[in-house]
Structure formats: structure tokens, C-alpha cells
Amino acid sequence: MILTDLWMPGMSGIELVEHLTEDLRWKQIPVIAVTADVQIAAEKRALFTDLLLKPITLDSLREVLGRTLRVYP
């Protein structure tokens, strides 16, 4: 599982997930986007396994990890 911010220096989380899905070795790894940018998150949601909105709480992290681990044990 990969947790990635949408806005990083050098490569965005969107670019990262696009690169990962191009390579069969990495395509099946769940990628969770972490962001405070609700608009971009809604527009690009389909690219990611799940979405974790900032500010992150322990409960929101548990919820996202639980959903992901049920699908990708």
C-alpha cells in the first residue's frame, strides 16, 4: 500500500499513480491519496484506491486503512 500526497515537489501524486499503473509489477498496489484539496480529490478520485482528507485524524486513517485492507489483504 502507498500513501501519497497529491502535491509533492518533483512529481504529483497523480503523476505517481499514472506511472505505477503503466508498470504491471506495480499496477495492483493500492494507492491512497492524501490531500486537503477537496476539489482536485473529487476530480481525480477514480485514479486512487481511496482518499484520505487532511487534517488526518486517527479515526479517518483507521477507516481508510480498514477499507483498503479488506479489499487487498
Instruction: List the beta bridge partners of residue 35.
Output: 53
Position 49, amino acid: T
Structural domain total, the chain? 1
Q: What tens digit of pLDDT does each residue of 33-45 get? A: 999 988 877 788 8
Q: Give CA 63 to chain center in angstroms.
A: 14
User: What is the span of the domain harbouring residue 31?
Assistant: 2-71
pTM for the whole structure: 0.84
Please name the helix (run of DSSP H) or strand (run of DSSP E) that holds residue 2, with its range, or none. Answer: strand 2-5
CATH number at residue 39: 3.40.50.2300
**12-60 pLDDT per residue, tens:** 999 999 999 999 989 889 999 999 988 877 788 899 999 999 999 999 9
Q: Which residues contact 3 (CB under 8 A, 6 or more apart)?
A: 32, 34, 52
